[in-house]
């Protein structure tokens, strides 16, 4: 009997999990309230709310394990399903990652430096937090924020009122604005036996809060940054008795790594691993969740990934570039929507830079990212 894995969320991450699982003989069943979803184009899809108790029995029936590709899955649903079928990563990781305050507290407890921050529930608390943290600062909703949504940069007192009007009404967090040298993302994976593997650090470039470009840091594996990031990630993995892929995003400021946030799932900053690493993040996540040995996480060579936001290029234009690969998620175009990505691999950093120069305009990159 082939093993069937259940996945909460049927977006592009779920679709890429399925694509990685088919060569391993796996089958997939997705639960996602959206009637049409990228993963639903290739696998069984139950279109029901995550909290629909009647759907849980049909979803969980016969599954080897359940995972999730969407970090805003209600923790109550993950816990209830865990009574029927093992759920990995553990629901406690989901819970910690869903609240920016508990996530920061977890980092701090484990000795990971973070941007200075303070919880904010009232206007008076916001004023007090601004006085304590100084300007500029970033006001964020504690829950349900993603891709820069639910946050506002406060540069001067005039920014406070509009930000408060836009965000107040839910628990907030104020963070010191970090004028970082760069943003880095580490992907870690831990198996059921406690075995771990770490991908090389990638430098990430965002615009309007959305990831646009990630580049594998040349020579990352032997670097002090890599050692530091792996040590930080290992602490989080151990504390949460984690199983699966975990992404941690860092700001590098004055050379130090500050933990910004984590995602208890496969992550956009790891899409390059499909062609660029010895084992993709998607395959390693499946191996971890099923209790199988992990695969090597080393890069095959220089690699980068460009997100396709709102629009997609002609496939011929991309595929003409040596080492370029096109991934389309089967989504209807809409401004600001992640529709796909390009990965490009090369033998040398120079060749990678040349290929990126051709691909950036094709991916519709704004001038400052060209």
In whole angstroms, how close is the CB of 253 to ligand AMP at the nearest point? 9
Q: Is 148 in the site for ligand AMP (CB under 6 A)?
A: yes
Q: Is 175 in the site for ligand AMP (CB under 6 A)?
A: yes
Answer for which of 120, 138, 187, 362 binds ligand AMP (CB under 6 A) is: 138
Q: Which stretch binds ligand AMP (CB under 6 A): 22-30, 121-129, 174-182, 280-288?
A: 174-182
To 10 degrees, the CA torsion angle through 129, 132, 136, 140? -30
Q: Which stretch binds ligand AMP (CB under 6 A): 118-126, 172-180, 187-195, 291-299?
A: 172-180
Q: What are the two backbone dihedrals, phi and then psi, of residue 199, each rounded to the nearest 5 degrees? A: -80, 155
Task: Return the number of the residue (2 or 179) whose C-beta is nearest ligand AMP.
Answer: 179
Sign of CA dihedral 227, 250, 366, 273: positive
CA–chain centroid gap for 231, Å, is 19
Angle, alpha carbons 344-195-271 (nearest 5°): 20
**Residue 89: its H or E element:** none
In whole angstroms, how close is the CB of 148 to ligand AMP at the nearest point? 5
**Residue 318: its H or E element:** helix 315-319
Task: Return the number of the residue (32 or 261) whose C-beta is nearest ligand AMP.
Answer: 261
Answer for which of 71, 203, 225, 261 binds ligand AMP (CB under 6 A) is: 261
Angle, alpha carbons 286-49-330 (nearest 5°): 60
Answer for which of 183, 203, 225, 283 binds ligand AMP (CB under 6 A) is: 183
Q: Which stretch binds ligand AMP (CB under 6 A): 76-84, 125-133, 173-181, 271-279?
A: 173-181
Q: Which stretch binds ligand AMP (CB under 6 A): 57-65, 170-178, 262-270, 333-341?
A: 170-178
Q: Is 182 in the site for ligand AMP (CB under 6 A)?
A: no
Task: Return the number of the residue (70 or 177) whose C-beta is nearest ligand AMP.
Answer: 177
In whole angstroms, how close is the CB of 207 to ligand AMP at the nearest point? 9
Is the distance from CB of 324 to CB of 307 less than 8 angstroms?
A: no
Q: Is 306 in the site for ligand AMP (CB under 6 A)?
A: no
Answer for which of 115, 191, 276, 313 binds ligand AMP (CB under 6 A) is: 115
Share in percent of the chain as helix, strand, coil (round to 5)? 35, 25, 40
Angle, helices 160-167/123-133, rounded to nearest 10 degrees: 130
Q: Is 260 in the site for ligand AMP (CB under 6 A)?
A: yes
Q: In what order do the strands lie in the sheet with 4-8?
A: 44-46, 27-31, 4-8, 65-68
Beta strands in 90-208 (DSSP E): 117-120, 137-141, 151-154, 172-176, 182-190, 196-198, 202-207
State which of positions 191-210 bind ligand AMP (CB under 6 A): 206, 209
Angle, alpha carbons 246-191-58 (nearest 5°): 85
Task: Return the number of the residue (154 or 243) whose C-beta is nearest ligand AMP.
Answer: 154
Binding mask 222-251 toward ligand AMP (x if CB under 6 A, else -) reads ---------------------------x--
Task: Return the number of the residue (116 or 358) whose C-beta is nearest ligand AMP.
Answer: 116
Which residues are paired to 183 by β-bridges?
204, 251
Task: Return the number of the residue (97 or 346) whose C-beta is nearest ligand AMP.
Answer: 97
Q: How many angstroms separate the Cα of 5 from the Cα of each of 2, 28, 66, 242?
A: 10, 5, 6, 18
Q: How far apart are CA 156 and CA 189, in angstroms?
A: 41
Task: Return the number of the residue (27 or 205) whose C-beta is nearest ligand AMP.
Answer: 205
Residues lying near ligand AMP in the complex (CB under 6 A): 115, 138, 145, 148, 175, 177-178, 183, 206, 209, 249, 260-261
């Amino acid at each position: 009997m082939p093993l069937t894995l259940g996945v909460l969320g049927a977006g592009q991450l779920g679709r890429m999990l399925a694509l990685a699982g088919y060569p391993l003989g796996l089958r997939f069943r997705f639960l996602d309230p959206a009637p049409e979803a990228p993963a639903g184009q290739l696998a069984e899809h139950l279109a029901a709310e995550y909290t629909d108790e009647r759907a849980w029995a049909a979803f969980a029936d016969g599954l080897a394990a359940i995972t999730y590709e969407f970090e805003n899955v209600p923790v109550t649903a993950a816990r209830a399903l865990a009574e029927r079928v093992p759920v990995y990563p553990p629901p406690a990781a989901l819970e910690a990652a869903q609240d920016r305050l508990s996530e920061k507290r977890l980092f701090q407890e484990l000795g990971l430096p973070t941007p200075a921050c303070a919880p904010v529930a009232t206007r008076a608390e916001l004023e007090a937090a601004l006085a304590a943290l100084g300007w500029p600062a970033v006001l964020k909703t504690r829950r349900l924020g993603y891709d820069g949504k639910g946050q506002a940069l406060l540069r001067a007192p005039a920014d406070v009122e509009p930000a408060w009007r836009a965000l107040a009404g839910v628990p907030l967090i104020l963070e010191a604005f970090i004028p970082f040298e760069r943003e880095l993302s580490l992907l870690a994976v831990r198996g059921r036996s406690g075995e771990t593997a770490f991908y090389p650090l990638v430098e990430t470039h965002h615009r309007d809060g959305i990831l646009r470009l990630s580049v594998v840091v040349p020579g990352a594996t032997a670097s002090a940054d890599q050692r530091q990031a792996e040590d930080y990630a290992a602490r989080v993995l151990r504390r949460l008795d984690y199983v699966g892929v975990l992404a941690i995003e860092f700001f590098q400021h004055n050379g130090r790594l500050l933990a910004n946030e984590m995602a208890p799932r496969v992550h956009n900053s790891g899409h390059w691993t499909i062609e660029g690493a010895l084992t993709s993040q998607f395959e390693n996540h499946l191996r971890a969740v099923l209790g199988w040995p992990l695969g090597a996480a080393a890069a095959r060579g220089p690699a980068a990934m460009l997100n396709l936001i709102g629009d997609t290029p002609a496939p011929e234009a991309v595929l003409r570039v040596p080492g370029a690969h096109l991934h389309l998620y089967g989504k209807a175009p809409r401004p600001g929507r992640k529709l796909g990505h390009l990965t490009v691999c090369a033998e040398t950093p120079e060749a990678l830079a040349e290929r990126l120069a051709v691909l950036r305009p094709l991916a519709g990159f704004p001038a400052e990212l060209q």
